């Protein structure tokens, strides 16, 4: 007897500490019962304290990885994360277009949790021009939305204004993520021409390394499984909230979430 399951492709940078990027994406996809594939756009030397180096993959090899994936186990959804140069942006955009990639969730990674800049201004301009038009959903956090929109975001009303601006850059939906500064952990989904607030409670923890990567991957899992955008986002928020509440403590800085929290709970391996 044989079977298959939906596949999710993650196109992102590698995190040597295992908490964000490709590693977080793979953990998320597998924890949600789907099959993970990857296209690595950059290697990073990083840990929970910061990013110490970024080594970009040659664009032609990014294309080769995408061709290999789509030529065999075709993914039902694609999550795109760190793309740090204009050439890599173009390579990823070309691959997504040539292979008619479905359900593209784009997390415009610009700054790490520790505050390290991960992408050039030229690359930001390129991703808006080349990748945003291919997205089913974009998921900027507040600092990223501020960069993209050229405005300060300090209130819920600011979030709504930013969402409308971002919606003008993409044919898909927009999720502006809360949880930064004075704004609570309420996210704003701009979908079908209207704003929908998704309420959430802030989890008091410093271990948030890879939160954005995890959320976008979890959303891609929902889309790959046949859920509509709204349901996929709600499912992903529940997953990330559980991973933050688990109380994981790894590293000396901003530690990672516990991607396997639900499995530990199910098997009774979490301490009381």
Best CATH choice for the domain 7-266 from the list 3.40.50.10330, 3.40.1190.20, 3.40.50.880, 3.30.70.20: 3.40.1190.20
Model confidence pTM above 0.85 = yes
Judge residue 128's burial from the number of C-beta atoms within 10 Å of its C-beta, 0-12 exposed, 13-18 middle, 19 or more buried.
Answer: middle
Active-site residues, by number, are 177, 208, 210-213
In the chain, what percentage of residues exceed pLDDT 70?
94
Asked if residues 64 and 196 have their Cβ atoms less than 8 Å apart, the reply is no
In this model, does residue 157 exceed pLDDT 60?
yes
Give the integer Cα–Cα distance in Å for 149 and 227.
Answer: 29
What pLDDT score does 272 carry? 41
- Among residues 118, 96, 2, 102, the alpha carbon closest in space to that of 50 is found at 118
In this model, does residue 177 exceed pLDDT 80?
yes
Average pLDDT over residues 73-93: 96
In this model, does residue 271 exceed pLDDT 60?
no
| Domain spans of the chain, in order of start | 7-266
Residue 119 banded pLDDT, cuts 50, 70, 90: confident
In this model, does residue 186 exceed pLDDT 50?
yes
Residue 204 banded pLDDT, cuts 50, 70, 90: confident
Give the integer Cα–Cα distance in Å for 146 and 15.
Answer: 25
Give the integer Cα–Cα distance in Å for 36 and 175.
Answer: 23
In the chain, what percentage of residues exceed pLDDT 90?
75
For residue range 22-41, list pLDDT tens digits in order.
Answer: 999 999 999 999 999 999 99
């Amino acid at each position: 007897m044989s079977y298959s399951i939906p596949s999710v492709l993650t196109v992102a940078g590698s995190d040597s500490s295992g908490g964000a990027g490709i590693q977080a994406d793979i953990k998320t996809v597998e924890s949600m019962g789907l099959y993970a594939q990857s296209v690595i756009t950059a290697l990073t030397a990083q840990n929970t304290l910061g990013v110490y180096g970024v080594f970009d993959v040659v664009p032609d090899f990014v294309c080769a990885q995408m061709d290999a994936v789509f030529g065999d186990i075709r993914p039902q959804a694609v999550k795109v994360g760190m793309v740090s140069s204009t050439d890599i942006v173009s390579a990823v955009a070309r691959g997504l277009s040539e292979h008619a990639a479905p359900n593209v969730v784009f997390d415009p990674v610009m700054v790490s949790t520790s505050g390290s800049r991960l992408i050039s201004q030229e690359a930001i301009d390129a991703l808006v021009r080349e990748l945003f038009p291919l997205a089913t959903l974009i998921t900027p956090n507040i600092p990223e939305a501020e960069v993209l929109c050229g405005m300060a975001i300090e209130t819920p009303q600011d979030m709504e204004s930013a969402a409308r601006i971002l919606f003008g850059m993409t044919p898909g939906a927009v999720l502006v993520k809360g949880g930064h500064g004075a704004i609570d952990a309420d996210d704003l989904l701009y979908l079908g021409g209207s704003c929908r607030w998704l309420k959430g409670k802030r989890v008091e923890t410093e271990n948030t390394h890879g939160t954005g990567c995890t959320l976008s991957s979890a959303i891609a899992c929902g889309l790959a499984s046949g859920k509509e955008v709204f349901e996929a986002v709600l499912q992903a928020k529940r997953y990330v909230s559980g991973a933050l509440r688990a109380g994981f403590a790894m590293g000396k800085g901003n530690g990672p979430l516990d991607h396997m929290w639900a499995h530990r709970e199910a098997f009774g391996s979490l301490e009381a």
